[in-house]
Copies of this chain bind each other. A is one copy, B any other.
Amino acid sequence: MRWGLIGGGRGSQIGEAHRIAARLDGLFIFSAGALDVDAAAGRAFGRELGLADDRSYGDWREMLKAESSRPRAERLDLVTVATPNATHYEITKAFLEAGFNVLCEKPLTMNVEEADDLCATAASTGKICAVNFGYSGYPMAIEARAMIAAGELGDVRVVMAEFAHGAHADANDAENPRVRWRYDPAQAGISSVVADIGVHVLQMAQFMTGQKVTSLTAQFEHSIPSRELEDDALLSCRFDKGAIGRVWLSAVATGQPHGFVVRVFGSKGGLRWSQEHPDQLHFTTVGGSTQIIQRGDAKHPASVAASRLTVGHSEGMLVAFANIYRGIHARIGGGAGAGGERGYPDVSEGAEMVRAVHAAVRSAKDRGAWIDTRTLAAV
């Protein structure tokens, strides 16, 4: 299938990750792109990466116009939007309306209205609008979901999930442009760590448990006082089938390279998964010993299908990412994702996470009031 990319110019980590993930399984051919806000730089970089001259564009509007008029045999099957957050809505909407399938980076949009509108646009156009919660492509995250769905943990009681890294712990680095924009409302929007990493945590909690967040309470902190937006947050949330969530987020947790860890505790057992060592799940039944389940020993079809290598070989993030692309590919092709499920996070999850961010911000401002994530009203 033919694939296009918007954003992800020279030096962009996420752009390179998308290009590797899209081609890892040989399912997508990189065919068009508008890679940079600097039109000339974007065109040059696209050609360097092998794009045809006439499909390496200076901006997304030019790309939209030209690609829309391609004959069916050359038409892009999927467009990935990896631009700054504030532009996601406009670009995604435009490509959906022009009949393209889209994979949008998270956060989906800057506000709830835009998110809802994209849900409606996806529905009305019948096009795929996926959102890149890429961690949910890890085979052992999929295994955790399958175990919970199969009742191996019993009723889920408590989810303790954290995403706490130390990348922004250096106060001397706070004025570094690479860091500063993240705490500047003008650029980052209403939230920093919740919008940036909290959405991964909540999406993963929903993904693994099969439950949806219905309300939450949040405490925000600015541990480096000059920051306008939070760099550490603590949330409690409730899920629709009875689970409760405890979520800790931080960007000042020195010593934790990545720090995304999910623990789920149910009436029959508990499990633990850590993104830094993603090939293992720790699983314990009530009264039993902890078992280390290796990726290659996973039993559920969805996770087996999501795996590329035999046991003992670490697979890593690029495969998780490639699983999102594979899921979209299967859906475009009319098939199912790995294990018979959708196979990728879609626009509804993107919108749920936008709501969660707004609920958390409201709660934090209102001294920890519980907020309904659907209505965004205090409960």
Contact = CB atoms under 8 A, between A and B. Distances in A.
A160 B248 contact: yes
A125 interface: no
Interface in A243-267: 244, 246, 248, 250, 252-259, 263, 265-267
A147 to B, nearest CB: 12
A30 interface: yes
A312 B158 contact: no
B309 A13 contact: yes
A255 B275 contact: no
Nearest to A154: B171
Interface string A152-171: 00000110101011100111
Given A23-B23, A313-B275, A318-B309, A255 B234 contact: no
How many protomers of this protein does the assembly include?
4
A106 to B, nearest CB: 16
Given A26-B23, A275-B312, A294 B257 contact: yes
The listed residue with most B CB atoms (<10 A of its CB), out of A49, A291, A310, A316, is A316
A292 interface: yes
Contacts of A252: 157-158, 265
Contact of A236 (B219, B291, B294, B309): B219
A349 interface: no
Interface in A29-61: 30, 49-50
Given A158-B221, A277-B277, A287-B170, A257 B25 contact: no
Contact of A318 (B50, B166, B278, B308): B308
A367 interface: yes
Given A30-B26, A367-B370, A232 B244 contact: yes
B26 A284 contact: no
B217 A368 contact: yes
A285 B170 CA distance: 10
Interface in A16-34: 16-17, 19-20, 23-26, 30
Given A253-B265, A257-B296, A276 B158 contact: no
The listed residue with most B CB atoms (<10 A of its CB), out of A223, A255, A270, is A255
A313 B316 contact: yes
Contacts of A169: 265, 267, 270, 286
A179 interface: no
Nearest to A219: B236
A82 interface: no
A232 B246 CA distance: 10
A290 interface: yes
Contacts of A49: 26
Interface of A: 13, 16-17, 19-20, 23-26, 30, 49-50, 157-158, 160, 162, 164-166, 169-171, 217, 219, 221, 223-224, 232, 234, 236, 244, 246, 248, 250, 252-259, 263, 265-267, 269-272, 275-279, 282-287, 289-294, 296-297, 308-319, 367-370
The 10 closest A-B pairs by CB, nearest first: A258-B312, A316-B316, A255-B284, A254-B270, A257-B312, A157-B223, A255-B270, A313-B317, A289-B291, A314-B316
15 contacts: A17-B308, A20-B308, A26-B50, A158-B250, A217-B219, A234-B236, A253-B263, A254-B269, A256-B312, A276-B314, A277-B277, A289-B293, A313-B316, A314-B317, A315-B318
